[in-house]
Structure 1
Amino acid sequence: MIISKNWLSEWIDLSDISTQTIVNTLNSIGLEVDNFKSVKAPDKVVIGKILEKTKHENSDKLNICKVDVGNEVLQIVCGAKNVEEEQFVAVSLIGALLPNGIEIKPAKLRGVESMGMICSSSELGFGKSNEGIMILDESIGELVLGKALNEYELFNDEIIEIDLTPNRGDCLSLYGVARDLSAALDLNLKEINVLKDNENSVGIGRILSIKNNTKLDGLFTYKALEIKEKFKLNIVIQIRLALVQKYKNSPIENLLSYSTHATGVILNAYDFHKLCKECQVDEKVVLEIKVQEHGEYGIYYNDKLISLAGIEQKDEFKINDDSKIIVIEASYIHPNIVANALAYYKNKNDMNYHTLRGSEPKLSLGIDYLSNECLKIENISIFSGIQQVFCDIEEKIIGIFTSDIDKIIGMPIDRNILVKILKKLGFEISAINEEQINVKIPLHRSDIANIADISEEILRIIGIDNIPSRALEFKEKNRLNKIYFDYQDLKNLRLKASHNGYFESIHYVLDNEEELNFLGFKCIKNKLINPITSELNTLRSTLINHLLKAVSFNLKNSRKKIKLFECGSVFDEYSVEHSKFAMVYCGFKEEAKISNKAKPAAIDFYTFLAEIKSVIGDFTMQKSNHCFLSPYEQANVYKNGKCIGFVGRMHLSIENKRDLIKTYVCEFDVENLKQEFKIVKNYSKFPSMSRDLSILIPKGFEYDKIKKAIIKLDINILESFKVVDLYTDESLGDFYSLTINFVFRDFEKTLEDSIVIEQTNIILQTLNEEFGLNLR
């Protein structure tokens, strides 16, 4: 986007603002300046008037001109085709240095002296504005012969080139840039002084009517012009268009381009007589707006497509230098509609470059600006009135709390300043209460979607350099909930099992009902209506069945030591889901090797229990009666007073049926295997004393009774006790010798033997009184 400071001053008063300040401001508000430069006519270039023109005797293309430059009349040889008498022109005097490096010196051209040069706009560094020399007019101000050209604002300007991001289509015009500058510099935009149409002019309704039967997501306004004779644009329009690289050869196209660059409103032009080739002035053309296949809007005349609004126009209806009556169309189409359509048409041009990014929806601004320029031209008459297509485009409203804006930006923003900035940027504000406001998003800012976008608008105007820096804070919602802890507990179980040499096994949640019933597990009462196979015809009620199949498979593949575990879901008879953890150990304690002479010992119950303890921690056992386990090696497992599952060797009949060797299994409720946090306790600095008591107990007597009786005594100095030996021989008959190790410790003093003996006697006395047990 290229802007001229003088042209920009039509929209905002920049008389007291330096170009460097403007550049810095544009950069700070996100409109990055890619380049800026001064464009000034060279010194010794003055205004002159051609008094006389005669043909050069020795050249068909050269003319000898007498040029009045105020204090003298110079003879200048000129080769431009458009040079004529009475023209005001730019004259480079002797000694002038042009931008292309040429210094003007006295010269002889085909034998005729030339004391200067009549210049074109491109030779003075202002770009190409026409074919031939630059013809001046009073649009630049009063033409004073001999006055330096660079004393006129038009020829002493600043050009700024802005590199816009794709979402800032609202700044593809001088009006859009001025709107942002007005907020950043706290200046007011200038109002356009709209010139009135001739009261005696023909109304547009006499020649044009618009038809629309669909709900549009766009805006349309139509105006009509009549070109009485060919005309030329004033030098201001020519030079400005040349500077911003928008100059075209057609005067009416230049007018449209000039108005669009100034206002951002998309303007399109149709040749009236190409629409209705036999129409007279008083005949009416009816244009119809229709929705096309991909959502874009087509403009039709007599069911013939003449243009796609905001995308492209059919060549056969475009204007040219011979056009007499011209229908001007101003339109606004939502960028999303244009984007969807261009995905199919893939036709890129200046029009859809603007509409794809978002054009100016204030159509009256573009129509009025164009009308003002046309009314300054005698050869153009304007049809009075306009034709419009009204549609209610719903503007998005975002409710915001000013405190939320403060949090996003990082500092408190005065509410009045906040509202002032948004209003200057074109937002409509309505207050709900002291804290909350509603912000209506203008159509020209289709990129604004939420409070973060609004905060960004305020931030870029205030300036990020004006926000005090502070330490970056990372805040995250506490995610240490039940789901997380359950996941961690299960992960820890799997890791511990893996560290003990167990491999994880994963199976389907479906199982065989007959096999589960044989093992003694209850299946779900609700039968599966459509099982995937006859072998997987129910939901599993245990993990054991699949693990046994995996063990059998490994045995058949010559594996002699098999350690597997699985975590998964099982379902009770009421189809309620539970999480289980199961382990299986089959075969030998170790692989065959030299140290065991290739005859490793088979796994035993105590070895399996030790490995379970290293996985789930301390536990106790009580007698159980599971039909699928050996009656001699099985137990229910308790942890923290709750039964969490079972452990034992598979029943011999099941081992034989499934071709298994010695196999131990366990299965626990995951819900009761929670991670145990270590509780810190005080410890005594005094030494402990240990005593072993060997007690005769009848065969079949449960140790748990002894344990509960000792705990019930609540002996303060008893730190711990445990079974260390179980012995029997013929001399003991129907009794076992159970050796229990007791550890005593006092927190206040060193224990004496007499105290320990006293406490052991209390223990023995209690066991004797309650169970009739004595020392061996």
Structure 2
Amino acid sequence: MRLSKNWLNEWIDLSAKSAEDICAALNEIGLEVDSCERIRVPSKVVVAKVLECREHENSDHLHVCKVDAGEILQIVCGAPNVAEGQMVACALEGAKIGELSIKKAKLRGVESCGMLCSAKELGLGELGKGIMILDESIGELEIGKELSSYPAFDDYLIEIELTPNRGDCLSVRGVARDLSAKFDLPIKDISPLKKSEDELLGIGRLISLHSEEEKNCALYYKVVNLGENFSLNLKKRLRLALIESKHKSAIEGALEYSTHSTGALFRAYDARKINPNENEKISLKIKNGEHKQSQIYAEDKLLGVAGICANKEFLADENTKIAIIEASYTAPEIIANATGEDKNMPKDEMVYRSSRGSEPAISSSMNLLFGSCFENCEWYGGSQQISMNVERANILVNCSAISKMIGMDIEKKEIHKILSRLNFEIASGTNDEQFYAKAPAYRHDIQNIADVCEEIVRIYGIDNIPAKPLNFCEANRNSQASLKHALARNLRQRAVDAGYFECVHYIFDDPSELETMGFKPCQAQMLNPITNELKELRPTLLNSLLNSALNNAKRGAKQIKLFEYGEVFDISGKQSSKLGFVSCGLSSLPSLKNGAKGTELSLFELANDIQKILGKISLKASENLEFLSPYEQAKIIQNGKVIGFLGRVKPSLKKDLPRCYVAQIDFDALKCEHILAEPYSSFPATSRDLSVLVSSELKYEQIKECIEALKVENLQSFYPTDLYSDKSLGDKKSLTISFSFQSNEKTLTDDEINALMQRILDVLKESLGMELR
């Protein structure tokens, strides 16, 4: 999008703003400035008048001109359009035009004291062949006055890079509206129509317009008599050259200028091409196409499709005398759907604007066109038009939500002010924190509160919002079911790594075998059991695992390690998840290392396996499970909570099984927690052994609780290493406990460790009656 500062100044008063201020503001509000170039005519180029013009005696194309440039000069000129009485741009002696320095010279024997310039030579773009003819559109012409003192010849050309949603800024008016909101300046009231339409011939005598179908576009028609020599003034032609217009006729140039200025879409049709009969009215009809596009017909002739294309056969050109001017607006989604679904539909350059959103205020835009480009023409009074309501989203704006999105608190008053400057229609909401807002009709891209928030940030200024570090506050999207699944998969993999094979059994079990193990039947009975042996919802995983282990033993397996993860049901039918383990036979198979008979399995080997799988655990003696040996069963404790049990199966339960140990873990009691890294000491650890005499009735658990209650500083761990008894000790036993000490701050001295050991011994003596051996 190209525009100039002076062009902007016609819509909004920017006289107090520099080009740098304007470019900075455009960048702040999201209209990225691609370039800003000063367009200025060189010094010593002045307004001059051609007093006389005659043919050069020694040339068939040169002219000898007598020019008044504040002084009378003789200038030889080769332009084909130079003529007596013209006001022209004259470069005086000493002026520098590009790389050319102007000085006195003789051209084919005739002295020339300056140069009559074309617009291209002055860096103003291409205006046609020949020199540039000045007129009053640039201001009052004073002979001898430098051109650079006129605003039209000392301007800034600004090029903006627009995103596809900002079709409203594909015009000078659109950019001025945004700058108006940024600078808090009013848009100027431009009302160029000065002719009284009561004195004009009514447009209804020439054309009529009607539509019998749903109105999918707005149309506005006026008719102008261009006459014989319609042309645009210099200021408009200069601006068209700056935006690199490719128009072929003056009428095309007028429409392109007005579209670029107002944002509205214009077309011009030749009335005589549509109907050569001057006395016959032209009847225009609107019909809807397959994709809701509005087709304009004159009787059975298709003139065009609003916002998409036009029939070139009927378009106005340089020979047109009576032109029907059309202004249209079609919702951009209709344009996009129609052109996207029908790839073969004819399209022209207008689609670029209409698909991004053109200006809906076509009536005022038409008046601006007639008042600025056709001010010297005759036109028919009145208009023919079809109106439509542009749908606008009614957005509920919550001030707290806006502040949260922006990252800082913005008062409701400030939000109101910014939206009002952006021409939003504001209505009260249900409370003080919220209100309803409707975007202006030309902002079709604003549909929700996020769009409104973006508009507020644009105008408030993103540089005025304090920077904050990015806060990763994404909520954990894992559900309890997914976390449970991940933990189960991890534990099953660990069990396999520990040498166990996974089993999968039915959730039904044999009620007689369960009764033998001491489990009560579930109150929820199966109506259609698979078999009589599988008609009870299982309360434990262990019976099925023991049966599988028995089958393996009957086939000669010497070492059996099985596990299962599955669901069980209590007496009331409540479902829970469990992990079951069975370890039978030998701990290690016969080999050169283990001997000819191998190694017998023990309770603590199964406990060690469980610890590999679940992490650190502790055991506490238990006697309440009927199917386990009362001498080899224990509760499994983790983080101070009972999570299961383990023990040796009574030989009488499964008579054909070798030595067998089982464990069952309450899976729902396990916690899926991240491991927290703790600092480790860089100083050496020191160990001490304490051998004491203890009562045969005393349990190690009591000793452990007594030592833990002391909370001895720098004590890392302790555990029993030896238990000895003989007749000489009577009813007492010798227990050796190994202690490990380590500090995070220093190397502990022998004296410090001895003091800690003495403290432990004193408490054991006092609390449990233990003696040093």
* TM superposition score normalised by structure 1: 0.75
Query: Out of 665, 668, 672, which is 1:668 matched to?
Result: 665
Counterpart of 1:232 in 2: which secondary structure? Answer: coil
Name the structure 2 match of 1:419: 416
Letter in 2 for 1:116: G
Aligned-residue offset at 1:171: 2.0
- Residue correspondence of structure 1 range 426-445 to structure 2 within 5 A: 426-432=423-429, 434-445=432-443
Q: Which residue of 1 aligns with 2:619?
A: 618
Counterpart Cα distance in 2 of 1:528 and 1:300: 77
Residue 361 (structure 1) aligns with = 360
The alpha carbon displacement at 1:322 in A equals 2.7
Q: Is the Cα contact below 8 Å between 1:605 and 1:633 reproduced in 2?
A: no
Q: Cα deviation per residue 1:263-300 (whole Å; 9 max; x = unaligned)?
A: 122223344444x445545413223141533x654445
Residue 8 of structure 1 and its aligned partner are, at CA, apart by 0.9
> Does structure 1 conserve the Cα–Cα contact (< 8 Å) formed by 2:170 and 2:260?
yes
Task: Show the counterpart of 1:731.
Answer: none
Counterparts in 2 of 1:655 and 1:448: CA distance versus 1, 3 Å: farther
Distance 1:41 1:666, change over 3 A: same
Q: Distance in 1 between matches of 2:298 and 2:551?
A: 81
Please say if 1:186 is aligned against 2:184.
yes
Q: 1:574 to 1:751 in 2, by over 3 A?
A: closer
- Evaluate the alpha carbon distance shift between residue 677 and residue 65 of structure 1 in structure 2; reply closer, same or farther with a 3 A threshold: closer
> Structure 2 vs 1, CA of residues 6 and 392 (structure 1 numbering), >3 Å: closer, same or farther?
closer
Opposite residue 227 of structure 2, the aligned amino acid is K
**Which runs of structure 2 are paired with 1:342-353 in the superposition (5 Å)?**
342-344=339-341, 350-353=349-352
Q: What is residue 164 of structure 2 aligned with on the other side?
A: 166
Q: CA deviation at 1:413?
A: 3.9
Q: Give the RMSD, CA atoms, in angstroms.
A: 5.2
Q: In structure 2, do the counterparts of structure 1 residues 661 and 104 end up closer, same or farther at CA, with 3 Å as the change threshold? A: farther
8 Å Cα contact 2:622-2:630 kept in structure 1: no
Once the two structures are superposed, residues 361-387 of structure 1 have per-residue CA deviations (whole angstroms, 9 ceiling, x without a partner) of 322342221121244123x52442240
Q: What letter is aligned with 2:18?
A: S
Distance 1:570 1:256, change over 3 A: farther
Partner residue in 2 for 1:232:
231
Going from structure 1 to structure 2, the CA distance change for 1:636 and 1:738 (only over 3 Å counts) comes to: same
Is the alpha carbon distance of 1:164 and 1:465 closer, same or farther for their aligned partners in structure 2, counting shifts above 3 Å? same
Aligned-pair CA distance for 1:124: 1.0
**What letter matches 2:587 in structure 1?**
K
Q: How does 1:407-556 map to 2 (within 5 A)?
A: 407-432=404-429, 434-467=432-465, 469=466, 472=469, 474=471, 476=473, 483=480, 487=484, 490=487, 494=491, 497-498=494-495, 501-502=498-499, 505=502
Q: 1:384-399 to 2 correspondence within 5 Å?
A: 384-399=382-397
Distance 1:442 1:553, change over 3 A: farther
Equivalent position SS for 1:142? coil
Matched, 1:331 2:343: no
- 1:42-71 alpha-carbon deviations (Å, 9 max, x no partner): 222222333444444554444444433343
> 2: distance between equivalents of 1:21 and 1:133?
35
Q: Residue 242 of structure 2 corresponds to which residue in structure 1?
A: 243
What CA deviation, in whole Å up to 9, does each residue of 1:88-143 have, x standing for no partner?
Answer: 222223332113x1223334444444433322211111101233322222212222
Secondary structure (helix, strand or coil) at the match of 2:88 reads strand
Aligned to 2:26: 26
Shift of residue 238, structure 1, vs aligned partner: 0.2
Letter in 1 for 2:28: S
The one-letter amino acid paired with 1:618 is: L
Alignment of 1:46 onto 2:46: yes
Shift of 1:208: 2.9
Assess, with a 3 A threshold, how the Cα gap between structure 1 residues 621 and 330 changes in structure 2: closer, same or farther. farther
- Determine the structure 2 residue equivalent to 1:15: 15
- Cα distance in structure 2, aligned partners of 1:230 and 1:304: 29
Structure 1 SS opposite 2:452:
helix
Residue by residue, what CA displacement relative to the aligned partner does 1:5-44 show, whole Å, maximum 9, x if unpaired? 1111101112222222222222333322222122122222
Following superposition of structure 1 onto structure 2, how do residues 626-775 of structure 1 map, counting pairs within 5 Å? 665-673=662-670, 692-694=694-696, 750=762
Q: Residues 654 and 395 from structure 1, CA distance in 2 versus in 1: closer, same or farther, beyond 3 angstroms?
A: same
Inter-partner Cα distance in structure 2 for 1:369 and 1:528: 87
Change (3 A) 1:486 1:95: closer
Residue number in structure 2 paired with 1:318: 315
Q: Deviations over 1:238-285 (max 9, x none)?
A: 0011112225221111111111111122223344444x4455454132
Query: How is 1:42-81 mapped onto 2 (pairs within 5 angstroms)?
Result: 42-80=42-80
Q: Does 1:201 pair with 2:200?
A: yes
Match of 2:37 in 1: 37
Contact 1:43/1:150 (CA < 8 Å) preserved in 2?
yes
Give the secondary-structure state (helix, strand or coil) at the position aligned to 1:255. helix
For the structure 1 residues 751 and 537, does the alpha-carbon distance in structure 2 shift closer, same or farther, using more than 3 Å as the test? closer
TM-score by length of 2: 0.75
In structure 1, the residue matched to 2:153 is: 155
- Contact 1:525–1:573 at 8 Å: present in 2 too? no
Rounded to whole Å, the distance in 2 between the matches of 1:30 and 1:613 is 62
Q: Match of 1:618, SS?
A: strand
Indicate if the aligned counterparts of 2:209 and 2:384 stay in contact, CA closer than 8 A.
no
Give 5+ residue unaligned stretches, structure 2: 515-520, 676-688, 711-717, 726-730, 738-756
The aligned counterpart of 1:87 is 86
Aligned residues: 706
Cα deviation, residue 453, structure 1: 3.7
Counterparts of 2:203 and 2:526, CA distance in 1 = 80
Aligned to 1:119: 117
For 1:603 and 1:553, locate their aligned partners in 2 and report how far apart those are by CA, in whole Å: 19
Change (3 A) 1:692 1:358: same
Residues 422-464 of structure 1 show CA distances to partners (whole Å, capped at 9, x for unaligned) of 2222222234454433222223333434444434433333333
Q: Are the counterparts in 2 of residues 605 and 649 from structure 1 also a CA contact under 8 Å? A: no
Q: CA deviation at 1:233?
A: 0.7
| Corresponding residue for residue 732 of structure 1 | none
Name the CA distance, whole Å, in 2 between partners of 1:279 and 1:466.
65
Asked if 2 retains the 8 angstrom alpha-carbon contact of 1:336 and 1:356, the reply is yes
1:578 is matched with: 576
- In structure 2, give the amino acid aligned to 1:6: N
Cα separation, 2, equivalents of 1:396 and 1:517: 68
Aligned to 1:136: 134
Q: 1:610 to 1:167 in 2, by over 3 A?
A: same
Whether the 8 Å CA contact 1:564–1:583 is kept in 2: the answer is yes
Q: Which amino acid aligns with 1:256?
A: L
Task: Give the percent of matched residue pairs that are identical in Structure 1 and Structure 2.
Answer: 36
| Equivalent pair of 1:650/1:665 in contact (CA under 8 Å) | no
Structure 1 stretch displaced more, 172-181 or 41-50:
41-50
Judged with a 3 Å threshold, the aligned counterparts in structure 2 of structure 1 residues 194 and 543 are, in CA distance, closer, same or farther, namely farther
Code of the aligned partner of 2:317: N
Residue deviations 1:390-432, cap 9 Å, x none? 235133323222x444444455445444323222222222344
How far apart in 2 are the matches of 1:180 and 1:257?
22
Q: Distance in 1 between matches of 2:535 and 2:123?
A: 89
Matched-pair contact (CA < 8 Å) for 1:212–1:290: no
